[in-house]
A and B are shown apart, each in its own frame.
Chain A
Amino acid sequence: MKYMLIMRATDEAYASMADVSMDEMIELMGRFQEEMLRAGVLLAAEGLEDPAETVVVDHGSEPPVVTDGPYGETKELFGGFYLLNVASREEAVEWAKRAPGTGPGFKTEIRRVSTIDEFPQDNPWIQKERAWREATGQL
């Protein structure tokens, strides 16, 4: 069985982490990842960029409407994800508009996926992660 862990947090939760240093954050995540690797359960992992840069394609109307921000007022279920290799956010939005499932309530959230190159390369946790990505064909 495969399960996806979807890390979601409220604005307050993000705000509460404002004082945590980057190194500390990387170490916390690194340790968690290390535990999952030790247990042989981790297949893939990606982190999503700042929700402020996120757009949502709402398939409730024809043509679909593009709005800012990931979350609406109603409770929404994260149903899975596609990982695309595209040149721009606009291109990703174009693909999202073509996603199956149209009608009220169907939304596709588009978030840029961070790459390992964006993190401090001298951090030992980042080096561990790079080694794992190399070994599993995920760079």
Chain B
Amino acid sequence: MADASGRDAVAAVWRIESARIVGALARYTGDFALAEDLAQEALAEALVSWPRDGVPREPAGWLLTVGRRRAIDAFRRRSARDERYATLAHQLGEGGAATGADPAGGAADPDDVLWDPDRIDDDVLALVFTSCHPVLSREARVALTLRVVGGLTSDEIARAFLVPTATVQARITRAKKTLAAARVPFAVPPADERAERLGSVLNVIYLIFTEGSTASSGDDLIRLDLAAEAQRLARVLARLVDDQPDVWGLVALLELTAARFPARTGPDGEPVLLEHQDRRRWDLTAIRRGRAALARAEGLGRGLGAYGLQAAIAECHAVAPSVPETDWERIVLLYEALGRLAPSPVVDLNRAVAVSMARGPAAALAIVDELEGSATLASSHLLPSVRGELLTRLGRPDEARRALELAVERCGNERERALLRRKIADLG
């Protein structure tokens, strides 16, 4: 087997198996940071051995066996200092002797004690909650989740976020130290913490998705892959936690948003606004999946959360044949509900746009004017951009021009700036 294809095979297996390998090792060692190190060591060993000897018949069992051996080594080293580790090393060693699994032999016993199918879901769920723990910075949560749950390498994460690999590695190292220092247990959080912790998990997945879907610069393909990875994580989560409206709401939001990806850029990569998108290019299967997930969220009967409300707004667009035929009144109501649940000037601004479609630009301008003092929007191009649009429709071209020029000044994305300049040119 050629080196490159051997490495590709390792990467592919790792994408599929990393979560349960890290999860199983974390459960057995009770030490998340150590488990991640061990899993990475097993991966490094596979990268040497598989291209040379071929991919083993049970690749996951092979990786787990190597990981466990490294765990025993680590515990033996530590046992000189601490009696507890000697016991652990002994217990783990017995497990290994019982199965007789041998990485060099290329196959591990599927009945391996670490490989308990009934525990996999719990392990992966504990892994998700630990990676997204609130003691970590947002950047650390994102990097750790992509690495241990998503099975991405530091290189891949670095490329996706346009930062040096060393930065990603440093974030992950630091995150593991933080978790250890805070004595975060490797477990699914107790019931009283669960809602809050789930919120953090959903937020991390959402951040990964938006990072992937707002391609402000860099390689578009890689960014889109990040969005797809977020969708995969959301589906994994929905399978593990299927009784929470917010989880299904997030799945729905990601599906319904991603459904529009094929239509949101033109032939030269320029952004195409919703109103000008060719709706035939929307992904109907993604819309179907998104609507099914939203129905599931609604069906739980506890109301929609912030993600579900945004998904419901996306659904209004998804089912509308055109911009004028969109149920804008419903969108206004959904934005009002969203604003009460998660007050934000950005939500108000979006509501203003919906109001302009439902009731005309004058009613919308009143909302926009109220947002003028908002600190959140002070340096954003969004407010003057919407304002310019409304003033244009109200037949006040001089004021519209001033607003749009301010928007150009504030906008960081070259493609969007071009769009704003076209609007200014259209004013004559």
- Neighbouring B residues of A37 by C-beta, 8 Å: 235, 239
**A136 to B242 alpha-carbon distance, docked (Å):** 13
- Asked if A8 is an interface residue, CB under 8 A from chain B, the answer is no
- Neighbouring A residues of B235 by C-beta, 8 Å: 37, 40
Which among A1, A38, A43 is the interface contact of B236 at CB below 8 angstroms?
A38
Task: Report whether A38 and B232 are in contact in the complex, using a CB–CB cutoff of 8 Å.
Answer: no
Give the number of chain A interface residues (Cβ < 8 Å).
13
Task: Report whether B292 and A137 are in contact in the complex, using a CB–CB cutoff of 8 Å.
Answer: yes
Task: Report whether B120 and A38 are in contact in the complex, using a CB–CB cutoff of 8 Å.
Answer: yes
13 A-B contacts (beta carbon < 8 Å): A1-B228, A37-B235, A39-B232, A39-B236, A40-B233, A43-B289, A44-B285, A135-B242, A136-B289, A136-B292, A137-B289, A137-B295, A138-B288
State the majority secondary structure of interface residues on A: loop
- Neighbouring A residues of B293 by C-beta, 8 Å: 135-136
State the majority secondary structure of interface residues on B: helix
- Asked if A5 is an interface residue, CB under 8 A from chain B, the answer is no
- Neighbouring B residues of A15 by C-beta, 8 Å: none
A-B contact count (CB 8 A): 39
- Neighbouring B residues of A7 by C-beta, 8 Å: none
- Neighbouring A residues of B16 by C-beta, 8 Å: 39
Residue of A nearest to B283 (CB): A2
CB distance from A34 to the nearest CB of B (A): 10
Against A, the Cβ 8 Å flags (1 = close, 0 = not) of B232-244 are 1111100100100
- Neighbouring B residues of A137 by C-beta, 8 Å: 288-289, 291-292, 295
Against B, the Cβ 8 Å flags (1 = close, 0 = not) of A12-47 are 000000000000000000000000011111011000
CB distance from B255 to the nearest CB of A (A): 9
**A41 to B228 alpha-carbon distance, docked (Å):** 10
- Asked if B296 is an interface residue, CB under 8 A from chain A, the answer is yes
Residue of A nearest to B150 (CB): A40
**A137 to B285 alpha-carbon distance, docked (Å):** 9
- Neighbouring A residues of B285 by C-beta, 8 Å: 43-44
**A1 to B296 alpha-carbon distance, docked (Å):** 26
Q: A135-B242, A136-B293 are in contact. List 19 more A-B contacts (CB 8 A).
A: A1-B225, A1-B228, A38-B121, A38-B236, A38-B239, A39-B236, A40-B231, A40-B232, A40-B233, A40-B235, A40-B239, A41-B232, A43-B285, A136-B288, A136-B292, A137-B289, A137-B291, A138-B288, A138-B292
- Neighbouring B residues of A38 by C-beta, 8 Å: 120-121, 124, 236, 239
